[in-house]
Amino acid sequence: MCSYITEKAPIFGSAKGRHGWMRVDTAVIYYDHPVHVPLDHALNIDFVDSRSKERVAVELSADSARELVRRIQAALDSGDAIHLGSAEADPLQLASAS
């Protein structure tokens, strides 16, 4: 598609990159030409630490990405059922509320 169109999501988390674990605060998502996976177009996600600008990148086929979305939702749903009532607040919600 040759575009610079991206979706960006604020996140709170960690990712393991070339220098070990790091905090990541942004996910940059785009469906365009990948660098490595042997496809013309892929769903690409960069988990980024905006301070160091380091990233952990993944490139997925479109079907893989859709399946991942479903599995993430399923994992969240089952986790919510198990951990319902947990007092832990998500730092991302705290940050957006402040």
Partner 1 sequence: MTYRDITCEVVKFTAHNGEQGEAYYARPAGPGPFPGVVLIHHIPGWNEFCIEAARKLAHHGFATICNNLYFRMGDGDPDDIGARARAEGGVSDEQMLGDVAGAMAFLRAQSNANGKVGIIGFCSGGRQTYLSACRLPNVNAAVDCWGGRVMADPAALNAKQPVAPIDFSKDLNCPMLGLFGNDDKEPSPEQVNKTEAILKDLGKTYEFHRYDGAGHAFFDWSRPSYRPEQAMDGWKKAIDFFHHNLG
End-to-end CA distance of the chain: 38
Where b means 16+ CB within 10 Å and e means fewer, 13-32 reads eebebeeeebebbebeebbe
Q: How far is CA 74 from CA 11, 23, 35, 78, 81, in A?
A: 19, 25, 29, 6, 11
- The stretch near partner 1 (CB under 8 A) out of 29-37, 65-73, 81-89, 90-98 is 29-37
20 is a site residue for partner 1 (CB under 8 A): no
Given the complex with partner 1, which of 3 and 86 has the nearer CB atom? 3
63 is a site residue for partner 1 (CB under 8 A): no
60 is a site residue for partner 1 (CB under 8 A): no
Given the complex with partner 1, which of 62 and 76 has the nearer CB atom? 62
- Using CB under 8 A as the criterion, which residues of the chain lie in contact with partner 1 when the complex forms? 1-6, 8, 26, 28, 30, 32-33, 35-36, 38-40, 46, 48, 53, 55, 57
